[in-house]
Homo-oligomer: A and B are copies of this chain.
Amino acid sequence: MAEVQSAQIHGGETLLFLTDEQLRQGIEAMFFAYRGFTADPDLILQEMSYGRAHHRAIHFIHCAPGTTVNNLLAILGVTKQSLNRVLRTLIEDGLVESRVGRMDKRERHLFLTETGQGLEQRLSDAQRSRMRAAYRQAGPDAVAGFRRVLEAMMDSEMRRQYKSLREGRG
């Protein structure tokens, strides 16, 4: 399954014979996999009447503590009004803390509170556990390939954001 026909041609360049059908299967795989990918956190979020928007905000605040609202806006690719609605409820519910910037007092720096970190942990545990199972089932070579294809699928702008997030950590 998931065979890919390929051929070596002159100069080490590899040419893929990608039929429309093979590409279509990839598209469908992406559709179904993304549903699985979000299914587990969705269950937890539903308990506390949050949505995926809250999850995304929590995720990226966790990864980049102290990030500004503008920064988060750019990463999430939504309008400030959209983000604000979500952020307001998270702050009201005591999951996120917003601190006025020291250098630039117009900016608000966002942090997860302990409660917020608790929810983040629950959500990402659920998501990671599916991810881990999939990785384990597919094997290390498959995982490397998976990552390569995903990176190639991003827009250059997204790829820039994605990589800068990775560099900010280990």
Q: Contact at A27–B124, with CB atoms within 8 Å? A: yes
How many angstroms from the CA of A6 to the CA of B170 in the assembled complex?
Answer: 18
* A144 to B133 Cα, complex, angstroms: 18
Q: Does A84 lie at the interface of the complex (its beta carbon under 8 Å from any beta carbon of B)?
A: no
A-B contact pairs, 11 of them (CB 8 A): A16-B136, A16-B143, A24-B63, A25-B147, A26-B135, A28-B165, A29-B151, A33-B154, A134-B152, A138-B145, A145-B146
A41 to chain B, nearest CB (A): 10
Number of copies of this chain that the complex holds: 2
> How many of A's residues come within 8 Å of B, CB to CB?
68
- Please give 13 more A-B residue pairs, beta carbons under 8 A apart, in addition to A2-B148, A30-B34: A5-B140, A16-B140, A18-B135, A26-B135, A28-B162, A28-B165, A31-B56, A35-B154, A36-B154, A37-B153, A135-B149, A141-B145, A142-B149
